[in-house]
Amino acid sequence: MSEPAAARSEEPEEAGDAVLRTENLRKTFGGLTATDDVTMEVERGTITGMIGPNGAGKSTFFNLVSGFYEPDGGSVVVNGEETTGMDPHEVTEHGLVRTFQTPRKLEGMTVREAMLVGPQRQLGESVIPLFTQPDAVAAEERQNLQRAEELLERFEITHLADQPATDISGGQLKLVELARAMLAEPDLLLLDEPVAGVNPTLANKLKAIIRELHEDGITFLIIEHDMGFIMDLADPIVVLNQGAVLMEGSPDEVKNDDRVVEAYLGGGGGD
Ligand code: ADP
Ligand code: MG
């Protein structure tokens, strides 16, 4: 363009630095379009919210970008590299980690053991390093264990470490899931309804932890139907409706947008 080079170079380099970018991302189930050509970005350093009525396609979007579903069209770029069609563990290696709306059952494990299932691609998972680099395997296991202990302490759940993971409350399980996700050292953490079914005290604790991790440099994309929680925490907020992006804006812009109100009324409210 006609802009002088000097003016261009003054633009902050991080402008438009997307940790996640999707283009025309699409997923259909039979005749249903769950994700309808979603083009969006999550800017690095933000806590981005994702809301929308029940069935809007929020969880499907998470499944697509995290590699749990194969898209029918479009692309996903994580940290500047195309990850479309990659397996979840490969996407994790690119820096994107997610938690589940309904945490997986962790039967037969203590909380500490459940956490250690988290780190991706441990050396010990492949047989060869066991023979060629036994010291490296042991060192990595020790390091993961130490990091797990630090996270348990940081999230104030050390007292739960030796309990069966199936015995803890739903809210505590959300904390364990978050701690476990952190072990994978994400750049972008996707949380699907982190405070659904969580009591207000624990929800506030989760909010404080998310803010702290955000200050440490983690970018968040959070689906949440608790409007008070997400409006307080996130900016910008992306609104999905019937699989498509309805709008994106600040919490105030979203709150005052007639289309958003209509979408929630039309969608039966709730989620
Ligand atoms: P949200 O998380 O916004 O409530 P979902 O992404 O879970 O919405 O669902 C979007 C739509 O896709 C819904 O109509 C849902 O029934 C459908 N859907 C989601 N996952 C599947 C699946 N695995 N098979 C068939 N339909 C699905
Ligand atoms: Mg959902």
Q: What pLDDT was estimated at residue 123? A: 43
For ligand 1, atom 19, name the residue with the nearest CA: 60
**Ligand of minimum distance to the alpha carbon of 241:** 1
Q: What pLDDT was estimated at residue 267? A: 57
pLDDT, tens digit (0-9, with 9 covering 90-100), for 70-128:
999 999 999 999 999 999 999 999 999 998 877 666 778 898 888 887 544 444 455 55
pLDDT, tens digit (0-9, with 9 covering 90-100), for 7-50:
444 444 445 799 999 999 999 999 999 999 999 999 999 999 99
Distance CA(50)–CA(60), nearest Å, equals: 12
**Ligand of minimum distance to the alpha carbon of 192:** 2
Q: How many residues does the chain have?
A: 271
Mean pLDDT of 150-175: 90
What amino acid is encoded at 195 in this protein? V
Q: If DSSP states are collapsed to H, E and C, what string results for the chain?
A: CCCCHHHHHCCCCCCCCEEEEEEEEEEEECCEEEEEEEEEEEECCCEEEEECCCCCCHHHHHHHHCCCCCCCEEEEEECCEECCCCCHHHHHHCCEEECCCCCCCCCCCEHHHHHHCCCCCCHHHCHHHHHHCHHHHHHHHHHHHHHHHHHHHHCCCHHHCCCEHHHCCHHHHHHHHHHHHHHCCCCEEEEECCCCCCCHHHHHHHHHHHHHHHHCCCEEEEECCCHHHHHHHCECEEEEECCEEEEEECHHHHHCCHHHHHHHHHCCCCC
Which residue, 202, 147, 190, is CA-closest to 50? 190
Report whether pLDDT(270) > 60.
Answer: no
Rounded to 5 degrees, φ, ψ at 39 are -115, 115
pLDDT-above-70 percentage for the chain: 84
What amino acid is encoded at 196 in this protein? A
Mean pLDDT of 266-271: 54
**Residue 175 CB–ligand 1 contact under 6 Å:** no
Ligand 1 atom showing the smallest separation from residue 61 Cα: 6
Our CA angle for 162, 167, 173, nearest 5°, is 85
**Residue 225 CB–ligand 1 contact under 6 Å:** no
Q: How many CB atoms sit inside 10 A of residue 132's CB? A: 10
Q: How confident is the model at residue 166 (pLDDT cuts 50, 70, 90)?
A: confident
**Residue 60 CB–ligand 1 contact under 6 Å:** yes
Q: How confident is the model at residue 266 (pLDDT cuts 50, 70, 90)?
A: confident
Q: What pLDDT was estimated at residue 9? A: 47
- Mean pLDDT, the chain, integer: 87
Q: How far, in Å, from the CA of 59 to the mean position of ligand 1?
A: 7
**Residue 196 CB–ligand 1 contact under 6 Å:** no
